[in-house]
Chains A and B, each alone.
Chain A
Amino acid sequence: MKLAALVRLVRRDLARARRALAGSAFGIAAGTATLVFFLALGLGVRAVLLGEVFPIDRIELEPPKAKDPGLLGLLLGGGGEPPGISPDDVAKLAALPGVERVRPKLSLAFPASARGGREILGHDVGASELPGDGIDPALAANDVKPGLFVDPLDAPGAACVDDAGCTGNDYCERATGAAEGRCSAPVPAIVSRYLVEIFDKTIAPAHGFPAVGETLLGRAQGITFTVRIGESLLGRAKQGSPRTIKARIVGISGSATDLGLTFPLGVVRRWNREFGGDRAAERYSSAVVEARSGAEVADVIDAGARMGLSPKDTRARDVSVLVSGVMSLLSLVAGVVLVVSASSITQTFRALVLERRAEIALYRAVGATAGEIGAWTVSLAAVVGFFAGAVGLVVARVLAFLADWAAAAKLPDFPFKPDTFFAFPPWLWLLGMGFSILFSVLGAIGPARAAAKVDPARALAGS
């Protein structure tokens, strides 16, 4: 049978049995809509959670914590120093298969506090304890305008002994014990999107502050803080003299530490040497390893464990498992709907075959093979599945649109609230359509076999 003839047969069937076929297609459309809606929801939520909140394709490895010295140890001279990660370890991590890049971090090894933000927020806000990291400026190159996130002393200003000797917004960067310092522009700092989200969605509404995300991105000069280094509310550094420096937020970056400020690595290294000693300046506090895909993170964790490093945070993995589990469960529900729908297709096609025994027998008499009769039935089911799938996909998209609209209108703002909770990648459309056709065809296979087995002599004699 030529394809054109098959198309003609199927078209005639669609015209004359549209009610029965529409009835059975309804279930397939509902199943497809359910499947695609839930998968799109899972993918959308996963993209937000694992792309922005808990990135799944990266893991932060850190060395073991310093040992508890016990009471005697404290009396004899304090706790042991944390082991840190050596530059050699960083090189080894970077050489692991599946690793895209490694971002070593040098945490502030001394107490610090900060205060500022008047120019944006109306009055100063502060942190009595300021955590912070230092990273290679190249890692934030894509997020910050060129030249902003660099060590200011790469281009030192005039010699000075205090801030009064510097002009404009500069301050005097004078290390402990040094006879004189150098005038320096405020130290650039970047913050994480996570911190900005927390501020904009939780802190700002509570205190009546404006949201700062877009403002920060739009202002080249950023927000300026005064930072007290070597001293905070809880205590002061073991060495060095606490002093006040200026810092300026120059951008938002995925490379920044979640909570706190992130400075250029050279600055933190210099400060750590001043307030914590050489070891605190040379050994990294952690390393963020970016894998080529989420699937390779497990291998990175294993390799890190062999080097004595452990994941700082396994929430990404936990969330990934949770989201995958929920997606699987919801997809299972949709699968059940599709299976039930397939049985509806079976019933409809069984009835059609029974009703058309004489017609099938006539086709056999005029030259149709059993295979052609089966192909005709299955093709009709595939076309029904195609149309049901198209309807299901449209319904899923419309439901997603309505859900997004309802979420935007009814749900309060919360950190990382996305514009859409759904993701509809091209493969999802194809998958939905594929399942729709597949289950329709599966449902029609039994009736197609029955149609192919119709005894033409008996069916023609029976009229």
Chain B
Amino acid sequence: MSHQADRDDRTARFERLFRAQYPAVAGYVRRRADAALADDLVNEVFLVAWRRLDEVPPNPRPWLLGVARNVVGTHIRGARRARALHERLASVEVAWPEAEQPLSGATVAAALVALRPKDCEALMLVNWDGLTPSEAANVLGERPATFRVRLHRARSRFRTLLERMTEERHGVTRHQHREMDVTREVSNA
């Protein structure tokens, strides 16, 4: 095959990959980065894909999101990551079982930021990016079994954090709840 034909074939392969995966990659980046930066980061992800086209596996999404994770991680860390999450969730309100009022986006963002970065990412990959645990494990570079344990713990920690934050917001701690219950029991006795 001539050099030009080789090149055309490579470009066609890349274009197919791009068109199929752009929404997923753009979604991944937009959920984690400031809007102003998102397009440039998505572009950078696909430039990596172009350079390493021959390494892209048959199921490219976890691979691409792994690249996207690195690219986003390079540009957005710590406080900036937290700010992006808060901005993204600022207008959100979600129902939460047993809570009297819907949870604010700020509370959800604060709970996510308080998680370990990999735990937070595990929750997002499965719920925001729609990956299976095996695919998400691939993105994080972990074994599926390890990821499942991580996901389970992440859910648990996230739930605990949400509860604590909700209680603090209402000015009533769990300890106070318990004290009130005890007082009630004593007075009823």
* Same complex origin of A and B: no
